[in-house]
């Protein structure tokens, strides 16, 4: 074991504290008898570049960086360039959502990057490490776009999405789990139980990255792994970081029965579509609640059936309403996500969407609503159409680093509509729900009065609160 060669993996700085499970997954798939994976999280370091360089020993195989679109690219570029200056011969590999969507553009935009992993990375990166460790190039390694010795960019064949049950379990011991509990302010454990998504939403990049494939871990494996993790980390909640946790009803039932049988007495949250909730029998929802389900996240997106058809969401508002009623009946909370400002969206669609958000929030103090403006993010047909119509979609790493995909509306949305939506977003946040601080009650009463009447003129309360507590950029 003393002859193992190090493989350094870096997670760039961001404004959220989800555990870097993508890096844990690729690290866990390495041959641990020959390689020693070391994960450095820039969010936990005062000087991320220095921490990465310090982790590199003389015999390190390579550096891998998992990159999301937006501000994390700035940090990823800074670390990449610092490592390239310190270790000119060390291979540097980018993976994650952004490189998966833009492999050629990523390599063209930064000469210090040697290769990009697209899509599911466990087997791809493991094969790359084997090749780098023996001095071979990446010729024919599926799922890789790489820079050949002559400087040309070579795009290898894609790698099909693998059934996650064939992959090794994630070794959370590779990261300081307690540090994430501390940063989150609660003992919430992150876990991935499935990858991919079978649906076809016209605004989402997931179908492009995973080809509408979906694979989920067996209930037995999940229960065994989570029971062992609970024994080690003593967490209070599990956050399932899946695209669509409720994809198969039978699997959900098996998971619940396995949790109950193993005595895994812990709260958990998961992602759900409105049509899945609509089709889920009351008995299964009751079983989920008994097994620990406390909250689901549901993407409603639009407030009319017409817009839902246009964006190919394949749900209806009636399904949304019925799912909400069932969740209330079983004491399950929800975060409802909405998107406004699609290109050519009718003016009344904005109000209809906000009305649905308002209606859902009023149904339960355990319901929340998040409203975002649509921003074209390539990998889906709406963004492709907007780009073809002349909208300036970022085309360089630097431009994508400045991209805030939830922070502003497209230029086709009138300024007065933007102001109206932003004010609604602020006041609905305070108008409903549970507010433990007694000082918030006057604001809640005033916010509820405004929301009930759709009156957002002279938003003095919003100006004061946002001056005292400015929100971060979300990307």
Contacts of 146 (CB under 8 A, 6+ apart): 107, 114, 115, 116, 137, 138, 153, 154, 156
Report the greatest alpha carbon distance in the chain: 70
pLDDT tier at 85, thresholds 50, 70, 90: very high
pLDDT tier at 472, thresholds 50, 70, 90: low
Token pair belonging to 164: 């996650």
Helix (H) or strand (E) holding 51: helix 48-55
Confirm whether 336 is domain-assigned.
yes
User: What's the mean pLDDT in 154-166?
Assistant: 96
CA angle centred on 406, ends 307 and 68, rounded to 5°: 115
Q: What is residue 463's predicted lDDT score, i.e. its pLDDT?
A: 92
What residue numbers bound the domain in which 333 lies? 186-413
Asked if residue 226 and residue 151 are part of one domain, the reply reads no
Asked if residue 231 and residue 129 are part of one domain, the reply reads no
pLDDT tens digits along 336-366: 999 999 998 998 999 999 999 999 999 999 9
Confirm whether 40 is domain-assigned.
yes
Q: What is residue 448's predicted lDDT score, i.e. its pLDDT?
A: 96
* CB of 31 closer than 8 Å to CB of 23: no
Q: What is residue 2's predicted lDDT score, i.e. its pLDDT?
A: 58
Confirm whether 17 is domain-assigned.
yes
* CB of 169 closer than 8 Å to CB of 193: no
Q: What is residue 471's predicted lDDT score, i.e. its pLDDT?
A: 64
pLDDT tens digits along 289-304: 999 999 999 999 999 9
pLDDT tier at 212, thresholds 50, 70, 90: confident
Asked if residue 346 and residue 240 are part of one domain, the reply reads yes
Asked if residue 239 and residue 98 are part of one domain, the reply reads no
- Cα dist from 190 to 168, 202, 242, 403, 443, whole Å: 17, 28, 10, 26, 33
Q: Is the pLDDT of residue 473 over 60?
A: no
Confirm whether 453 is domain-assigned.
no
pLDDT tens digits along 394-446: 889 999 999 876 667 888 999 999 999 999 999 999 999 887 777 778 999 99
Token pair 């302010």 is found at 185
- CA-CA distance, 65 to 35, in Å (whole number)? 17
pLDDT tier at 459, thresholds 50, 70, 90: very high
Q: What is the CATH number of the domain that holds 275?
A: 3.20.20.70
Q: Is the pLDDT of residue 126 over 90?
A: yes
Asked if residue 202 and residue 132 are part of one domain, the reply reads no
Going through 135-260 in order, the beta strands assigned E by DSSP cover: 144-147, 153-155, 188-191, 194-196, 214-216, 237-240
Confirm whether 461 is domain-assigned.
no
Give the total residue count for the chain.
475
Q: Structural domain tally of the chain?
A: 2
Asked if residue 196 and residue 105 are part of one domain, the reply reads no
Other C-beta atoms within 10 Å of 174: how many? 16
Token pair belonging to 464: 């004061």
Residue ending a domain, among 384, 413, 442, is 413
Asked if residue 85 and residue 35 are part of one domain, the reply reads yes
Q: Is the pLDDT of residue 58 over 80?
A: yes
pLDDT tens digits along 298-333: 999 999 999 999 999 999 999 999 999 999 999 999
Residue ending a domain, among 393, 413, 433, is 413
Asked if residue 137 and residue 208 are part of one domain, the reply reads no
- Cα dist from 160 to 122, 126, 157, 214, 428, whole Å: 12, 15, 10, 11, 43
User: What's the mean pLDDT in 127-132?
Assistant: 98
Q: pLDDT averaged over the chain?
A: 94
User: What's the mean pLDDT in 73-86?
Assistant: 98
Residue ending a domain, among 413, 432, 459, is 413
User: What's the mean pLDDT in 176-201?
Assistant: 96
Asked if residue 134 and residue 224 are part of one domain, the reply reads no
Token pair belonging to 254: 């098996």
Confirm whether 10 is domain-assigned.
yes
Asked if residue 210 and residue 322 are part of one domain, the reply reads yes
Helix (H) or strand (E) holding 299: strand 293-301
- CA-CA distance, 132 to 113, in Å (whole number)? 14
Which residue from 60, 58, 92 is spatially nearest to 77, judged by alpha carbons? 92
Confirm whether 409 is domain-assigned.
yes
Asked if residue 149 and residue 292 are part of one domain, the reply reads no
Confirm whether 475 is domain-assigned.
no
**Could you give the count of Cα atoms lying within 13 Å of 251 in the half-sphere of its Cβ?**
16
Asked if residue 198 and residue 100 are part of one domain, the reply reads no
Q: What is the CATH number of the domain that holds 113?
A: 3.40.50.280
Contacts of 458 (CB under 8 A, 6+ apart): none
CA angle centred on 48, ends 42 and 49, rounded to 5°: 140
């Amino acid at each position: 074991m003393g002859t193992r060669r190090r493989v350094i993996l870096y997670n760039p700085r961001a404004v959220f504290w989800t555990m870097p499970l993508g890096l844990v997954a690729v690290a866990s798939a390495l041959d641990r008898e020959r390689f020693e994976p070391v994960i450095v999280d820039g969010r936990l370091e005062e000087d991320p570049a220095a921490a990465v360089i310090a982790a590199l020993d003389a015999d390190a195989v390579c550096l891998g960086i998992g990159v999301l679109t937006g501000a994390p690219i700035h940090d990823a570029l800074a670390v990449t360039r610092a490592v390239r200056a310190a270790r000119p011969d060390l291979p540097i590999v980018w993976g994650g959502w952004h490189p998966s969507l833009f492999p050629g553009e990523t390599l063209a935009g930064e000469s210090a990057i040697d290769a990009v992993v697209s899509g599911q990375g466990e087997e791809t990166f493991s094969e790359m490490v084997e090749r780098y460790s023996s001095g071979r190039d990446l010729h024919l390694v599926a799922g890789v776009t790489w820079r050949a010795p002559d400087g040309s960019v070579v795009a290898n064949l894609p790698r099909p999405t693998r059934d996650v049950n064939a992959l090794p379990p994630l070794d959370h011991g590779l990261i300081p789990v307690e540090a994430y509990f501390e940063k989150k302010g609660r003992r919430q454990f992150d876990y991935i139980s499935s990858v991919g998504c079978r649906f076809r939403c016209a605004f989402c990049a997931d179908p492009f990255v995973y080809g509408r494939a979906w694979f989920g871990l067996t209930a037995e494996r999940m229960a065994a792994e989570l029971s062992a993790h609970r024994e080690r980390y003593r967490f209070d909640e599990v956050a399932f970081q899946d695209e669509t946790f409720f994809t198969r009803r039978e699997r959900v039932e098996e998971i619940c029965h396995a949790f109950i049988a193993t005595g895994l007495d812990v709260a958990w949250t998961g992602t759900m579509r409105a049509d899945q909730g609509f089709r889920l029998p009351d008995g299964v929802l009751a079983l989920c609640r008994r097994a620990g389900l406390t909250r689901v996240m549901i993407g409603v997106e639009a407030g009319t059936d017409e817009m839902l058809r246009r964006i190919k969401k394949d749900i209806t508002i009636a399904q949304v309403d019925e799912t909400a009623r069932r969740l209330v009946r079983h004491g399950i909370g929800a975060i409802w996500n909405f998107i406004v400002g699609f290109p050519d969206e009718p003016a009344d669609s904005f109000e209809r969407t906000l009305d649905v958000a308002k209606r859902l929030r009023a149904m339960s103090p355990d319901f929340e609503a998040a409203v975002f403006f649509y921003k074209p993010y390539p990998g889906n047909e709406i963004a492709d159409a907007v780009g073809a119509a002349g909208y300036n979609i970022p085309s360089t790493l630097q431009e994508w680093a400045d991209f805030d995909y939830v922070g502003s509306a497209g230029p086709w949305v009138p300024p007065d509509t933007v102001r109206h939506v932003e004010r609604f977003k602020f006041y609905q946040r305070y108008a409903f729900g549970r507010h433990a601080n007694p000082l918030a009650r006057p604001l809640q009463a005033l916010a509820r009065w405004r929301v009930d009447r759709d009156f957002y003129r002279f938003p003095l309360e919003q100006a004061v609160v946002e001056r005292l507590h400015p929100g971060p950029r979300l990307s």
